[in-house]
Chains A and B, each alone.
Chain A
Amino acid sequence: DAGVTQSPTHLIKTRGQQVTLRCSPKSGHDTVSWYQQALGQGPQFIFQYYEEEERQRGNFPDRFSGHQFPNYSSELNVNALLLGDSALYLCASSFVDRAEAFFGQGTRLTVV
């Protein structure tokens, strides 16, 4: 079992550009959540996907959007990048009715 895998591991983008981050959940998991972790802080919830629909959303602007595919993998898209979007983006997968979640190693996004 490969666990939760995220790609790419590192990414550098220019302010104003768009970025897509990808997540493959742990085998069998049907729910994917995305978190933003700024340097020196705890992760902040962005949104959660289940059955290809956004179920919950944290306090993030519409520039942040996502998608879940039939195989449960997910993408996080960020438009019109700002310097403040620089962070580690973590993907977590779980069964929808279970408490525990497993995290990927994250994608480090740097906006210059």
Chain B
Amino acid sequence: AQTVTQSQPEMSVQEAETVTLSCTYDTSESDYYLFWYKQPPSRQMILVIRQEAYKQQNATENRFSVNFQKAAKSFSLKISDSQLGDAAMYFCAYRSQIYGQNFVFGPGTRLSVLP
């Protein structure tokens, strides 16, 4: 079974600065997807960024980018130019490429953005 670990329960960053959230995972599969989801106090999980394991190039979405190290099974999220609206719980998630598989989530990292 796959597992996802987030070793930072809480992180804080100054507004406009850069922060990196860590995620490691364990799997015996070679093809899979990795995601970062954001959950603000409104509770709705919002997709931040997605990475396909077969792609060597790291995904980027505006101020959000990942550092995907497949051999090390590491998938960190970098948030640049942090904004107050970035404050939320961030969950790293794994999904097998096998047809219709479920998400496996990590325990989450609570990010605070300081003005």
In this assembly, does B7 line the interface, its C-beta being within 8 Å of a C-beta of chain A? Answer: no
* CB pair A42 B101 closer than 8 Å: no
Q: Which of A15-23, A68-76, A78-86, A94-102 has 4 or more CB atoms under 8 Å from chain B? A: A94-102
Docked-complex contact B47 and A100, CB < 8 angstroms: yes
Does B105 count as interface, using CB distance less than 8 angstroms?
Answer: yes
Q: Which of A31, A45, A102 contacts B100 (CB 8 A)?
A: A31
Q: Residues of A contacting B42 with CB < 8 Å?
A: 105
A88, closest chain B residue (CB): B43
> What distance in Å separates the Cβ of B73 from its nearest Cβ neighbour in chain A?
17
In this complex, the interface size class of chain B, counting residues with CB under 8 Å from chain A, is 20 to 34
Determine the interface band of chain A, counting residues with CB < 8 A from chain B.
20 to 34
Contact with A along B99-115 (1 / 0, CB 8 A): 11111111110000000
Residues in A with CB closer than 8 Å to B43 are 88, 105-106, 108
Measured in the bound complex, the distance between the Cα atoms of B107 and A104 in whole Å is 19
Contacts of B46 in A (CB 8 A): 103
Contact A103 B105 (CB under 8 A): no
| Complex contacts, B56 vs chain A, CB 8 Å | none
A103 to B35, CA, bound (A): 13
Contact A99 B102 (CB under 8 A): no
Cα separation A10 to B101 with both chains bound (whole Å): 28
B99 nearest in chain A by CB position = A97
Q: Is the CB of A42 within 8 A of B50?
A: no
Q: Of A56, A97, A99, A102, which contacts B95 at CB under 8 A?
A: A99
Known A41-B108, A43-B91, A99-B50: A106·B44 in contact at CB below 8 Å: yes
Chain B contacts for A42, CB-based, 8 A: 4, 91, 105-108
Query: Is the pair B108, A55 in contact by a Cβ cutoff of 8 Å?
Result: no
Task: List the 3 shortest-distance A-B pairs measured between CB atoms, nearest first.
Answer: A42-B105, A103-B45, A45-B102
Can you pick out 11 interface pairs between chain A and chain B where the beta carbons lie within 8 Å of each other?
A41-B108, A42-B91, A42-B107, A42-B108, A55-B100, A97-B99, A101-B103, A103-B37, A105-B42, A106-B43, A106-B44
* B positions within 8 Å CB-CB of A: 4, 33, 35, 37, 42-47, 50, 52, 91, 95, 97, 99-108
